[in-house]
Amino acid sequence: MNKYASNLDAIPVGKLAPDEAAAELARLAAAIAGADAAYYNDDAPNITDAQYDALRRRNLLIEKRFPKLKRADSPSDKVGASPSAGFEKAKHAVAMLSLDNAFDDEDVAEFDKRVRKFLGLADDSELAFTAEPKIDGLSLSLRYEKGVLVLAATRGDGETGENVTSNALTIADIPERLQAAPDILEVRGEVYMSHDDFEALNQRLTREAADKTPDLFANPRNAAAGSLRQLDAAITASRPLHFFAYAWGEVSEALAETQWEAMQRFKKLGFKINPLTKRCKDVAEMLAHYARIERQRAVLGYDIDGVVYKVDRLDYQARLGFVSRHPRWAIAHKFPAEKATTVLEDIEIQVGRTGKLTPVARLKPVTVGGVVVANATLHNADEIERKDIRKGDWVVIQRAGDVIPQVVEVIKSKRKKGARKFKFPDRCPVCGSHAVNEVNPLTGKTDVDRRCTGGLVCPAQAVERLKHFVSRRAFDIEGLGEKQITSFFEQEIIKEPADIFTLRQRQETGDINLYTYKNKSDGDIYLDKEGKPVATNKKSIENLFDGIDAKREISSARFINALGIRHVGETNARLFASHYGNVAAFYEAAVKARDTEIEAYQDMLSIDGIGALVAQGVIDFFAEAHNRDAVDRLLAEVTPLVAQAANTQSPVAGKTVVFTGALETMTRDEAKARAQSLGAKVSGSVSAKTDYLIAGSGAGSKLKKAEGLGVEVLTEEQWAILVG
């Protein structure tokens, strides 16, 4: 882990203040992104499934509690990771999304309620689901045209995967040709390896290694993913892989009327479907089937990590649609986690991008369900005080819950005499600046987090901000990753974002020499992304310059996200870019909004999805002269593009709409989702900038305000006609 990186925290979500929730979401986004890259690209996960699920669950719980704080780079909006450079890329005709998770019976019941509410169904009306084991393998999409397999692609980042067609054709469970299939049919499922085959494969690899240390797979999932993602299809053919079909992407004609019937059709076409798949008439049957599958888990012969529930009627699935990274009509009910006991050997303090000081528990390594855990998160001084955690304590570690791994409790009966309470530092361990508890400008309450006051002079904050600036969801500069940013920063070649875009000029004028400089931390000559010394590979430096120049024009949303404004991530950046149209207007509004009594502030709050805390983060950022100066220097080097509406062909693209009253033909959530998909801006309040107010029955104050402002008011029927 980078010495400036901040670990995840374990304070209960219900006790988080808004500021600490925003900081926690930032750390969770970074941790999950790293885990995705290790899992999907490297086939070498750095955390367990239970840990990963727990990170996502904590992220989801915080977003539900603080919906206005949802980040632009929220894991809730992402699927998988970018395709590996070793494979030809394959664009999915229909995105391969992930699933939302349920962790207990109450979550499943809540899922049923959400579906019913969205569809407008009564509690006692019929609503069936299918339930099937969630296979722990590698997702694969198979595209058939005229019955012939023409493309097999991994999930990748959900939009673009890796073309592994030749490899997939070596798997016996995957037919090369289909009879009586639709002209276009994308079959989706999971590639997996059985327990027996996994053990036999590792034994074979051990024999083949002879006197060398064998490169063995850690578990069947890694073995399946590593075997399918081989550049040499002959290696894949030598591996015992299997495939279960469970879904579909693009189809030229409807497969059936229900999920259950579609699965039976897959079976007739020659695909294997999981024999434990069952149609359930209600939540009680779903939970009963979950219990049956969990009891059989140990003897199935392959890994599963839960049960997937899907709304059975396909017309309901179509109405429910998707939100962020997952469908509204499906959920994965995950199996519970495990606990273990170990010794807390030390407590270290790490500093994150926002300056927060985070205590990290260093543990005597302990195996929890086959995974070695050596670190746990402690969140802040209050958490340590509340649990009375001390160096040398025996503690209970849990691999699931709000965040993983976490210290659940201290076994005080085993505490050594003389164990001292931990004294939280009042100075930053990185730069020595004072560390203080800030006062929340919105609530007036003192923040439980202690933050370094060093700001941009603190290396821990500056380097992490620069890493964020060049990250994939921000400027995404080719050849300039975390390693290079850290090295350039330590060498004092890059101190702020604008410095990135002056590298070529400074190299040409002789102010710097990137061909010979050394990394101060270890004295090594700077290495490019391929591990070659730049002293002998000047081409890599030229490529870096070209990669930087390629990003001198960038979308307004990416530009805003890259600034690293507190509480503003990818999603909020898109909202601001869409609302203001360009960075200049956003910049001007942010400066003016310091006066909360004028229209600029109210206009910012009218953006659907932007609350007072996010607005305050923007205002605070632009209130600092050094931030404005840094942005001005950056704008002298790059050109943010004018934001475009998501659907320019729609009659409501770019229009601001407000829904009020009770709608009859669709729920409010469904109406908002439809409007946004057509490129409209959905606002929660009426103003002079509102283009349409869609008024259902019982419309009240918003309708009166719209009439007073001269805003065009539409009935639900008129709205439906307008949008087609």
Q: State the catalytic residues.
A: 134
DSSP 67: G
- Tokens 């988080």: give the residue: 16
Structure tokens at 77: 């909006």
Residue of 239, 274, 220, 104 lying closest to 164 (CA atoms): 239
What does DSSP say about strands 160-162 and 89-91: parallel, antiparallel, or unpaired? Answer: antiparallel
- Tokens 């986004």: give the residue: 29
**3-state class of 178 per DSSP?**
coil
Q: Count the Cβ atoms, other than its own, within 10 Å of residue 142.
A: 25
**3-state class of 396 per DSSP?**
strand
Structure tokens at 623: 């209130």
677 near 646, Cβ under 8 Å?
yes
User: Would you state the torsion angle of the CA atoms of residues 466, 470, 474, 478, taken in this order, to the nearest 10 degrees?
Assistant: 180
The 8 Å CB, 24+ separation contacts for 666-675 are 666/120, 667/117, 667/118, 667/119, 667/120, 669/117, 669/118, 670/118, 670/319, 670/321, 672/608, 673/321, 673/323, 674/723, 675/723
CA–CA separation, 126 and 122 (whole Å): 9
- Tokens 């700001």: give the residue: 455
Strand arrangement of the beta sheet that strand 148-154 belongs to: 148-154, 138-145, 184-192, 242-251
**Residue 346 neighbours by CB under 8 Å, 6+ apart:** 361, 362, 391
Structure tokens at 38: 């290790």
709 near 599, Cβ under 8 Å?
no
Structure tokens at 562: 């890259």
DSSP 173: T
Counting beta carbons within 10 angstroms of the beta carbon of residue 676, is it exposed (0 to 12), middle (13 to 18) or buried (19 or more)? middle
Residue of 485, 495, 622 lying closest to 560 (CA atoms): 622
551 near 476, Cβ under 8 Å?
yes
Residue type, position 530, single letter? E
Host H or E run for residue 438? strand 435-439
Half-sphere exposure of 100 (CA within 13 A, CB side): 23
**3-state class of 655 per DSSP?**
coil
Host H or E run for residue 545? helix 538-549
DSSP conformation letters of 220-281: HHHHHHHHHT-SSHHHHHTS--EEEEEEEEEESS---SBHHHHHHHHHHHT----TT-EEES
CA–CA separation, 227 and 194 (whole Å): 13
Q: Which residues in 241-262 are b (16+ Cβ under 10 Å) and which e?
A: bbbbbbbbbebeeebeebbbeb
CA–CA separation, 692 and 47 (whole Å): 48
Q: Count the Cβ atoms, other than its own, within 10 Å of residue 307.
A: 27
The three-point CA angle 102-229-191 to 5° equals 45
